[in-house]
Amino acid sequence: MNTMSLSKKSTSPFLETIKLEDGYFFALSYHQKRIDRTREHFYPDAPPLSLPQALMRLDNIPKKGLYRVRVIYEEEISTIEFLPYEMRPVNSLKLIETALDYRYKYEKRPVINTLFQQKKRCDDILMTRDGFLTDTSIANIALLEGEHWYTPASPLLEGTKRAALLHHGILIPRQIHREELKKFSKIRLFNAMIDFGEIEFSTKNIVE
């Protein structure tokens, strides 16, 4: 693991997770937008923060391989870490109802970690809010009906990969109740590290 501290560690930081492959950072504009949105809400008087500039100043960027880049920040960036990445297989989901509000991506997420322990024999959880589908513990989702992929209109967290897929017209936002799952044949999980289509399985593997 490579780590560089850039400023004093904050007490309740936020997190951006960025894909780095063979020295190339993916989707920086989408990550920058989420950082800007978070900082505008919590630190409205803070000067702008440039994610690309912060990354380009580093002299320890791995040039080969696939890495999960953790950018921890508050008013300023405190730490940037490069962690070798290997995707965890997911082929089944346990439905879990929650009232969690996770619109901002915090570094610490104790509630989600506690909910994850309820997955039983499944690989992950699929959280619902008032019965409507949101996210798994690690990813946004999309469901296939006919020839179209639909993603929950109100996810717990608006992921950067989800934003890109919506922008390019690949996904259609829609409120999806857990009782409607039988309408859909397949589910895909995706996030900054997991490409759209890398994790796909039958909705029959989503259990109550």
10 pLDDT band, cuts 50/70/90, is very low
What domains does the chain contain, in order, with CATH numbers? 2-84 (3.30.470.10), 93-207 (3.20.10.10)
Q: In which order are the strands placed within the sheet that holds 24-25? A: 2-5, 77-84, 66-73, 14-21, 24-25
Mean pLDDT to the nearest integer, 14-40: 97
What rounded mean pLDDT belongs to the chain?
A: 94
Chain mean position to CA 99: 18
Could you give the angle at the alpha carbon of 116 between the alpha carbons of 113 and 120, nearest 5°? 150
| 82 CB-near residues (< 8 Å, 6+ apart) | 1, 2, 3, 20, 60, 61, 62, 67, 68, 69
| Residues 82-97 pLDDT 10s | 999 999 999 999 999 9
Q: Is 140 helix (H, G, I), strand (E, B) or coil?
A: strand
Q: How far apart are CA 205 and CA 65, in angstroms?
A: 32
| Residues 107-139 pLDDT 10s | 999 999 999 999 999 999 999 999 999 999 999
- Name the DSSP class of 160: H
| Residues 141-195 pLDDT 10s | 999 999 999 999 999 999 999 999 999 999 999 999 999 999 999 999 999 999 9
Global pTM value: 0.91
